[in-house]
Structure 1
Amino acid sequence: MSKEEQVQTDLGDFSTFSLKIFERCSSTVRNMGPKQAAAEKRTKEKITVVMKKEIIRKHDDGMRVTDLAREYGRNTSTIGTILKMREKILAMDAAKGVTRIMPNRPAVLEEVEKLLLIWMKEKQRAGDTVTEAVICEKAKALHADLIQQQAGSSDAEPEVFKASRGWFERFKTRSGVHSVVRHGEAASSDAPAAEKFAPEFLQVVADQGYLPQQVFNCDETGLFWKRMPKRTFLTQEEAKLPGHKPMKDRLTLLFCANASGDLKIKPMLVYQSENPRAFKKHKIDKGKLRVLWRSNSKVWVTCVLFVEWVNLVFDPAVKQYLLDKDLPLKAMLLMDNAPAHPPGLEDELLQDFRFIKSMFLPPNTTPLLQPMDQQVITNFKKLYTRELFRRCFEVTDTTNLTLRDFWKNHFDIAGCVRMIVTAWDRVSQRVLNSAWRKLWPDCVAKIDTGASAPAPETTVLEDIVSLARDIGLEVTVEDVCELLEEHDQDQELSTEELVELQAEATQEETQTPLEEEEAEVEEHVSSTELKDICRQWESVQRFARQHHPDKSLARDLANTFDTRVMSSFRGILKRRQKQQSMDRFVTKKPRVEGEPAAPEASQPETVAACSSAPSTSSAT
């Protein structure tokens, strides 16, 4: 064989060998399971400043380092490093998603991004979409406002902020914002979509045979429950008070009624506190209120709260109403596409209420079609304002209290709830029924000229002005209209209000439960009961971890409950242990002759049994 032939033979053998190796590698890759392939591609998520603060908070609540490492998928050394830098991390004031603070990053830009995130959440809560251009314009406006506020404290040249494309991309990366429309018009009413939806809705009503009594609409709205017109002396005095927070008087209401207007569902009220001091002062039982009382740090209706309201209030009321009216057990709930309204609401309903169906309005059609937005909520706010001024008049006319004293020291959230209930009761059936005129004209009852018509809204405004003057306030109809418009502007907050919300959010992240509430728990609950409930919680977590079909959901909810609820009980037990140890150290009770000595290890056992609870939470 010649030398050339030998070379060709060797090359052929090498090619055959290479092909076999390639086929074997390809077969190995194909045989890799999806979990194994995902594991190869999986990369660890960066630990943000917010996550680091969460780790420190959980460790302070009693969770062990090994449990934290297991929950966050990190090495124990990483968790230990975070805990060693505790003071530095807690001192950081970074926007969401930031993993580290750049030393040369302007402080005002950091503040802009934090306020921008709050503004975007408000937009999302309202069901509005925002574009990249809108976000950048808002960022520049916030930057200009903050620079103007700082102008008096510095003589330096103002910083230039262009909100460029590069900044926006980095902002998205830092904050994890994904629901942004890059082009197009945002938050505008979509008239073509509204025109298309109306006949579709009527077709569904006709096909399913729904009656006006069986079709419902719900919507949320903000209410500044303790606010007077701007030009009154009460408002001007409040604005001058040190530490005044204009956002503290805000709450959210969820209203619902049927198209015939003869069934108003019990509203849901979302407030910043679960147990206000006023409720304890007046000995109010929240379960007996004519509103469903719920709390939320941002005073928002969340998806969880909405589903609670549906199952606890809406569904039972609708079923009982249909039975009393001898109507078929079928109903529809029409709502907008707000984030709090889950698309698969039927799956969240209890078994007895699966006859209720849901239907969603198209995006950005709420002002055009939503019945609750067709003067119903506006009418309620006028009636609430009239009740507010009427109460001020009654107090100043029948007691020795001045208007200033009543407003500052005696008007609280308990009185507000009573006014909300009264105002909602006074929203007439005709107003509720007429609100469906744009979407379902045939269901609107013909106006009977012989029947007593409700007072026109101009009369309500005149009543408010008259009552205001009776209590010594110079108020015009324009002032009242401006006050009513402010209630609807909570979705477009000013820079000052965004700063207040940010300050409240920061305070809520670091604050502990109220001392008086914990004292009440400590007074009525023994250490044995707390120890037993912690053990039961451990068993519940273990069962959920083993048998729940959605283990990720079970883990998240367990962690939330453990952090927000059980940590308080563990804190009480910890304080009791420290107090008992201190008492034994300072004053040791002399043992009576013949009395057996108490075992020293009996007391710490209480806390030790409960301190193991976080480990189960983290393992889930």
Structure 2
Amino acid sequence: MAPTKKKHEKEGGKKKEMITMEVKKEIIQKHERGMRVVDIARCYNKSTSTICTILKKKEKIKRLDAAKGVTRVSKQRPRVLEDVEKLLLVWINKKQLAGDTVTENIICEKAKSLYTDLVSKLPGTSTENEEGFKASRGWFDNFKRRSGINNVRHREAASSDAQAAETFVAEFQELIVSECYLPQQVFNCDETGLFWKKMPKRTYITAEENAMPGHKPMKDRLTLLFCANASGDFKVKPLLVYHSENPRAFKKCKVQKSQLNVMWRSNSKAWVTHILFVEWINEVFGPAVKKYLLENNLPLKVLLIMDNAPAHPPGLEDDLLEEFEFIKVKFLPPNTTPLLQPMDQQVILNFKKLYTKALFQRCFEVTDGTNLTLQEFWKNHFHIVHCLKIIDKAWDGVTKKILNSAWRKLWSDCVLDYNLEGFAQEQEPPVVNEIVSLGTSMGLEMNEDDIQELVEEHSQELTTDELMDLHHAQQQEVMEEISSEEVEKKTEESLTSNEVKEMLKMWERVQNFVEKHHPNKTVAVRAMNLFNDNAMSHFREILKRRQKQLSFYRVLVKEETDSYEPTDSKDSVSYCESRPT
């Protein structure tokens, strides 16, 4: 046992004495005043290597605001790293939505770039600070765990593989022939991001403002999933994913999501996930194509062509409902999307041009003959409900010929008119010219190149400032949604149940009167049903919730009454009188 005691005594004698932050700052100050390292070491009874280590970290130590007596500060992640990871997630989501392969090396390089940009914007920073973040493998593994991202490769992806594309086209042709698929039965779907308030960068307002500064709302993004068949005669209802489930404009305009021309879904990232995609397949795509094929007396079988985006898992057919087992899925090879995917062959690009045209038309109609500036238009006269109408108009404007021609690289035999170059020259310039004309009439300086750049920007790399704007816009939308719900709750509380009941009785009398005396009962009933769904249902829900609360309250009161045994009749009367009625 003696050796053990000796060992403990030896260890105790060599206990390391910690240097407080206060002393470290004194050492740094003395060195900056010209005192030699050797003299400092002798003064504090420390080795010269210890003093040198402190001096190497002097910039970090000088920035610390530690309490007196603190010997070490626990390592905390700098705020700038938190911001880097938030913006990095926005960037990764956008890249994956575009179908781009994101690898570990690419993410780490982007993280370092974001860090450098953010640090350079901080006051009092130096080059030394900018080089402090290495985006190491350890950081990347921790980032993956914290953020929950997946589908990230650990090696560089190859560029679009022309050979793989050629092989796939041959396999696809064999499948079409062997299974006797018709163009009406073969579909393609693809997601795309849309900055629904974005304007050209080089936009000047000649009437009242010198330049359009970067507007945060213009970075507001949503994701659309488009789908159509190879014959071009059938478009499936699109899926739209936004970062807010119930935007304030929905409540203001009494929007019923089930009646929209898109399938509305939401998540914090505003992108299509596996779950949302399967919902769209089973609730929209399956029923729609089944009805289309039966109405056109076509065999009940469908081939859906897709890329290998994160939302499109290989086992998708296992997620289909039993009634949709006639749907078969075939995936494009990795890195061949730009070469083969029909939706990427001018379809989505055409949609975005038509969207931009309709956006400019809306802007012109609202501001023409008024003193409204574009900033006021964005803030007060253009919201997500207007955007939905424009999306519907633009998607409707994508013609059968454009949809059919998009299959020229994958299935040229199904394309009816192969004179595509002439067609492109005939159709595209008028749309762009109309946009430029509308912009000019509003006092905006732009040309065809600006419009082309704007359309392409939806799929281009976002700058650090744009990523920050996008992140802040999404946070602001969520806060506004919470605020709106609080206002709605206060408004509801100001109504009494008797007022709601009386109003509903009056509405019932109006219904009976209109049904009895209106010459066109079909039109009258349709109008009243619409009003019922959009307006009266809100008040019925209020009454229903209150009735449930009242029933629950009565049960509680009854339980309290049963368990209460008054000592005399006077106490009993007093108790009953004190109960709320």
TM-score by length of 2: 0.66
User: 1:320, CA displacement in angstroms?
Assistant: 1.3
State whether structure 2 residue 576 is matched by structure 1 residue 597.
yes
Among 430, 436, 447, the alignment partner of 1:459 is 430
Structure 1 range deviating more: 509-518 or 208-217 = 509-518
Rounded Cα–Cα distance in structure 1 between residues aligned with 2:151 and 2:373: 51
State whether structure 2 residue 296 is matched by structure 1 residue 320.
no
Question: What per-residue deviation string (whole Å, max 9, x for no partner) do you get for residues 56-81 of structure 1?
Answer: xxxxxxxxxxxxxxxxxxxxxxxxxx
Q: Report the residue type matching 2:189 in the other structure.
A: C
User: What SS is found at the alignment partner of 2:154?
Assistant: coil
User: 1:409, CA displacement in angstroms?
Assistant: 1.2
Rounded Cα–Cα distance in structure 1 between residues aligned with 2:195 and 2:245: 18
Kept in 2: contact 1:303–1:341 (CA 8 A): yes
Residue 95 of structure 2 is matched in structure 1 by: 123
How is 1:14-33 mapped onto 2 (pairs within 5 angstroms)?
A: none
Residue 394 of structure 1 is matched in structure 2 by: 365
Among 121, 131, 137, the alignment partner of 1:149 is 121
State whether structure 2 residue 323 is matched by structure 1 residue 344.
no
User: What SS is found at the alignment partner of 1:293?
Assistant: strand
User: 1:176, CA displacement in angstroms?
Assistant: 6.3
Kept in 1: contact 2:185–2:301 (CA 8 A): yes
How is 1:41-440 mapped onto 2 (pairs within 5 angstroms)?
A: 103=75, 105-150=77-122, 152-154=123-125, 157-160=128-131, 161-165=133-137, 167-168=139-140, 179-185=151-157, 188-233=159-204, 239=213, 244=216, 246-247=218-219, 249-397=220-368, 404-440=375-411
Question: What per-residue deviation string (whole Å, max 9, x for no partner) do you get for residues 94-133 of structure 1?
Answer: xxxxxxx952544434443443344334434444333333
Kept in 2: contact 1:145–1:495 (CA 8 A): yes
Rounded Cα–Cα distance in structure 1 between residues aligned with 2:459 and 2:188: 19
Structure 1 range deviating more: 472-481 or 175-184 = 175-184
User: 1:457, CA displacement in angstroms?
Assistant: 0.4
Residue 533 of structure 2 is matched in structure 1 by: none
Kept in 1: contact 2:345–2:406 (CA 8 A): yes
Q: Structure 2 vs 1, CA of residues 415 and 328 (structure 1 numbering), >3 Å: closer, same or farther?
A: same
Rounded Cα–Cα distance in structure 2 between residues aligned with 1:236 and 1:266: 41
Question: What per-residue deviation string (whole Å, max 9, x for no partner) do you get for residues 292-339 of structure 1?
Answer: 222222111122221222122211211111111111111111111111
Q: Report the residue type matching 1:497 in the other structure.
A: E
Rounded Cα–Cα distance in structure 2 between residues aligned with 1:206 and 1:108: 57
Kept in 2: contact 1:219–1:254 (CA 8 A): yes
Q: Structure 2 vs 1, CA of residues 172 and 226 (structure 1 numbering), >3 Å: closer, same or farther?
A: closer
Q: Structure 2 vs 1, CA of residues 392 and 168 (structure 1 numbering), >3 Å: closer, same or farther?
A: closer
User: 1:448, CA displacement in angstroms?
Assistant: 8.8
Q: Report the residue type matching 2:92 in the other structure.
A: M
Rounded Cα–Cα distance in structure 2 between residues aligned with 1:167 and 1:360: 33
State whether structure 2 residue 444 is matched by structure 1 residue 497.
no
User: What SS is found at the alignment partner of 1:265?
Assistant: coil
User: 1:347, CA displacement in angstroms?
Assistant: 2.6
Rounded Cα–Cα distance in structure 2 between residues aligned with 1:356 and 1:274: 30
Give aligned-pair identity as a percent.
58
Q: Structure 2 vs 1, CA of residues 467 and 438 (structure 1 numbering), >3 Å: closer, same or farther?
A: same
Question: What per-residue deviation string (whole Å, max 9, x for no partner) do you get for residues 564-619 of structure 1?
Answer: xxxxx9xx98xx99xx9xxxxxxxxxx9996762787x99xxxxxxxxxxxxxxxx
Q: Structure 2 vs 1, CA of residues 209 and 517 (structure 1 numbering), >3 Å: closer, same or farther?
A: farther
Rounded Cα–Cα distance in structure 2 between residues aligned with 1:110 and 1:200: 47
User: 1:154, CA displacement in angstroms?
Assistant: 4.2
Q: Structure 2 vs 1, CA of residues 399 and 324 (structure 1 numbering), >3 Å: closer, same or farther?
A: farther
Kept in 2: contact 1:428–1:454 (CA 8 A): no
User: What SS is found at the alignment partner of 1:221?
Assistant: strand
Q: Structure 2 vs 1, CA of residues 254 and 516 (structure 1 numbering), >3 Å: closer, same or farther?
A: farther
Q: Structure 2 vs 1, CA of residues 238 and 299 (structure 1 numbering), >3 Å: closer, same or farther?
A: farther
Q: Report the residue type matching 1:142 in the other structure.
A: L
Rounded Cα–Cα distance in structure 1 between residues aligned with 2:573 and 2:433: 84
Q: Structure 2 vs 1, CA of residues 182 and 305 (structure 1 numbering), >3 Å: closer, same or farther?
A: closer
User: What SS is found at the alignment partner of 1:456?
Assistant: helix
Rounded Cα–Cα distance in structure 1 between residues aligned with 2:437 and 2:446: 9
Rounded Cα–Cα distance in structure 1 between residues aligned with 2:437 and 2:475: 42
User: 1:506, CA displacement in angstroms?
Assistant: 6.8
Rounded Cα–Cα distance in structure 1 between residues aligned with 2:104 and 2:217: 31
Q: Report the residue type matching 1:123 in the other structure.
A: K
Rounded Cα–Cα distance in structure 2 between residues aligned with 1:598 and 1:455: 84
Q: Report the residue type matching 1:279 in the other structure.
A: F
Among 481, 488, 494, the alignment partner of 2:452 is 481
Structure 1 range deviating more: 231-240 or 331-340 = 231-240
Kept in 1: contact 2:97–2:192 (CA 8 A): no
Question: Which stretches in structure 2 are left out of the alignment for 5+ residues?
Answer: 1-72, 498-544, 557-569
Rounded Cα–Cα distance in structure 2 between residues aligned with 1:401 and 1:383: 24
Kept in 2: contact 1:222–1:252 (CA 8 A): yes
Kept in 2: contact 1:246–1:497 (CA 8 A): no
How is 1:566-581 mapped onto 2 (pairs within 5 angstroms)?
A: none
Rounded Cα–Cα distance in structure 2 between residues aligned with 1:507 and 1:474: 31
Kept in 2: contact 1:127–1:363 (CA 8 A): no
Number of residues of Structure 1 aligned to a counterpart in Structure 2:
438
Kept in 2: contact 1:217–1:372 (CA 8 A): yes
Kept in 2: contact 1:257–1:264 (CA 8 A): yes
Rounded Cα–Cα distance in structure 1 between residues aligned with 2:253 and 2:476: 27
Q: Report the residue type matching 1:149 in the other structure.
A: K
Q: Structure 2 vs 1, CA of residues 276 and 178 (structure 1 numbering), >3 Å: closer, same or farther?
A: closer
Structure 1 range deviating more: 455-464 or 258-267 = 455-464
Residue 520 of structure 2 is matched in structure 1 by: none
How is 1:552-591 mapped onto 2 (pairs within 5 angstroms)?
A: none
User: 1:468, CA displacement in angstroms?
Assistant: 1.0
Q: Report the residue type matching 1:137 in the other structure.
A: E
Q: Structure 2 vs 1, CA of residues 434 and 486 (structure 1 numbering), >3 Å: closer, same or farther?
A: same
Q: Structure 2 vs 1, CA of residues 395 and 181 (structure 1 numbering), >3 Å: closer, same or farther?
A: closer
Kept in 2: contact 1:332–1:356 (CA 8 A): yes
Q: Structure 2 vs 1, CA of residues 262 and 179 (structure 1 numbering), >3 Å: closer, same or farther?
A: closer
Rounded Cα–Cα distance in structure 1 between residues aligned with 2:332 and 2:494: 50
Q: Structure 2 vs 1, CA of residues 440 and 378 (structure 1 numbering), >3 Å: closer, same or farther?
A: same
User: 1:246, CA displacement in angstroms?
Assistant: 4.5
User: 1:345, CA displacement in angstroms?
Assistant: 2.5
User: 1:465, CA displacement in angstroms?
Assistant: 0.7
TM-score by length of 1: 0.62
User: 1:487, CA displacement in angstroms?
Assistant: 1.4
Rounded Cα–Cα distance in structure 2 between residues aligned with 1:185 and 1:518: 52
User: 1:171, CA displacement in angstroms?
Assistant: 5.0
User: What SS is found at the alignment partner of 1:252?
Assistant: strand
Kept in 1: contact 2:190–2:306 (CA 8 A): yes
User: 1:178, CA displacement in angstroms?
Assistant: 6.1
Q: Structure 2 vs 1, CA of residues 525 and 164 (structure 1 numbering), >3 Å: closer, same or farther?
A: farther
Kept in 2: contact 1:335–1:361 (CA 8 A): yes
